[in-house]
Structure 1
């Protein structure tokens, strides 16, 4: 079984906030899936890349992490995002789950928020 990596998950949020998408994408497996309730599942690194480079509605923000928990191959994260969504100032809570594969890359990701889209 793969082991969850707290440092890689922290690196993910740091890279997203810095808009360092090369680093973001390097943390994920080629066959990554990303599920966000009420939205289409992203499947594969190319859809994931397109999301981050072209369609992600969150910008100019930062993630504040309140809690990170690792269990087996999964890291759970609770925090808040402060920034802009479609140009509007927003602050909202989120819960993310990152599942790692045998190579130590994130293969599945889930995001839950009180927003309709992220």
Structure 2
């Protein structure tokens, strides 16, 4: 693996990730889109059972994807961990149906930032049932 050539301010990267999650939770898709570079690659598990992966190349495709396929949901993302190093981040979340509600899933997001602190790549992975549920931890 090559060393990152861009070192993004960790506070700026954290704000980008938090804005992304806040935008998803409030269905503020303009806020979501403001977190991504024009040339973004985005990959997310299917939004509904039986659908293909939710993937987009470029901000215009991402806008279409989140407005038409994802839409608004009341899910809450609790950040369990966020590691930022150089131009990369790893995000671990617990996703609840609603504030204080039952756990829906756990997820991991892998991101790459440009020099402006915008995401150029976002790959999300999800576990449902949640990680740890078979041993009573979720």
Whether these two folds match at TM > 0.5 is: yes
* Equivalent position to 1:65, from 44, 60, 79: 79
Larger strand proportion of the pair: 1
**Residue 127 (structure 2) aligns with:** 114
* Equivalent position to 2:40, from 18, 27, 32: 32
Gaps of 5+ in 2: 1-5, 46-51, 129-138
Q: Does 1:19 align with 2:27?
A: yes
Conservation of the 8 A alpha-carbon contact between 1:9 and 1:75: no
Conservation of the 8 A alpha-carbon contact between 2:75 and 2:97: yes
Give, in angstroms, the shift of residue 90 of structure 1: 6.6
Q: Does 1:54 align with 2:68?
A: yes
Radius of gyration: which is bigger? Answer: 2
Computed over aligned residues only, the root mean square deviation of the Cα atoms, in angstroms, reads 2.2
Gaps of 5+ in 1: none
Q: Deviations over 1:4-60 (max 9, x none)?
A: 511211121112111111111011001110123672631111111011111017722
**Residue 136 (structure 2) aligns with:** none
**Residue 103 (structure 1) aligns with:** 116
TM-score (norm. length: structure 1) = 0.82
Conservation of the 8 A alpha-carbon contact between 2:36 and 2:118: yes
Q: Distance in 2 between matches of 1:9 and 1:40?
A: 19
The answer to which structure, 1 or 2, has the higher relative contact order (CA under 8 A, 6+ apart) is 1
